[in-house]
Homo-oligomer: A and B are copies of this chain.
């Protein structure tokens, strides 16, 4: 259950409207690595959590914080849209500043949401639940979370460079700092899990049932061997269970596939002999129908 506090977690008030920037800022609201994604991802991971209580609590704490981030950015966007110009393009063409705004705005910010934030990304594409990763395996999911906070902080930093409004930058500097924490947080949780269960997900699958002869081989599927010079191509493997091997010319280990013809009720391409017979339609034997 949740309670709402009217104050924002941090200030979200621009120095002046900027409808074009509002469109860009949508990326970290409703984009794949926006705040809606981490909010829903952490909430679902928390609600589905079947592990020790401290994980559920930690995950829901951060999920609840992300809701406050969604709120801040939505509030910021609504204010950046204040006073967006209406009017037609002819008039705009006479005033380059108005024109720049009209050309760069997302028209749905006026037509659909009436100068409000939308749960969409900067290309106007709606947020989708496929962005929400929750597998029931915490080590896998914490890696998803570390990725999300890495992509997210990267995008906020890029948006920081795209504005000079000090108030917008102030809010972004807060979000960047929280993403620093959240990257550290997931790295810490990952280290804790890896130390007890190993680093390959899932750790509970019996290695005897995997094809162990190819478990540590780098396969070079191109001419040239630039890829041989990385850490991934030699030395002990990261799980401590083997050594990297570099396969210069990986060979096929499988069959040349050949599929059976489809049964007649599928009406696939008929075999050659049969096709020959069918140049006039009435020659088809009704009995081949089921």
Contacts and interface: CB of A to CB of B under 8 A. Distances in A.
B270 A44 contact: no
Nearest to A259: B50
A227 B24 CA distance: 33
6 contacts: A3-B3, A44-B117, A64-B221, A135-B154, A137-B268, A181-B214
Interface in A205-261: 205-227, 229-232, 237-241, 244, 250, 252-261
Nearest to A57: B226
Contact of A115 (B200, B262, B289): B262
A173 B208 CA distance: 9
Contacts of A92: 100
Contact of A202 (B40, B153, B232): B153
A116 B138 CA distance: 12
A290 B215 CA distance: 22
A38 interface: no
A6 B144 CA distance: 25
Instruction: Using C-beta atoms within 8 Å of the partner chain, give the interface range for chain A.
Output: 35 or more
A24, A107, A223 — most chain B CB neighbours (10 Å): A107
A202 B53 contact: no
A123 to B, nearest CB: 3
Contact of A155 (B112, B259, B268): B112
B157 A205 contact: yes
A173 B212 CA distance: 9
Contacts of A55: 230, 269
Nearest to A191: B231
A7 B130 CA distance: 28
Contacts of A134: 113, 116, 118
Interface string A168-183: 0110011011101101
B78 A48 contact: yes
B113 A48 contact: yes
A184 B232 contact: yes
Interface string A88-99: 111111001101
Residue of A20, A180, A215 with highest tally of chain B CB at under 10 A: A180
A266 B111 CA distance: 8
B136 A214 contact: no
B5 A173 contact: no
Contacts of A262: 50, 114-115, 136
A54 to B, nearest CB: 5
Contacts of A89: 18, 20-21, 100-101, 104
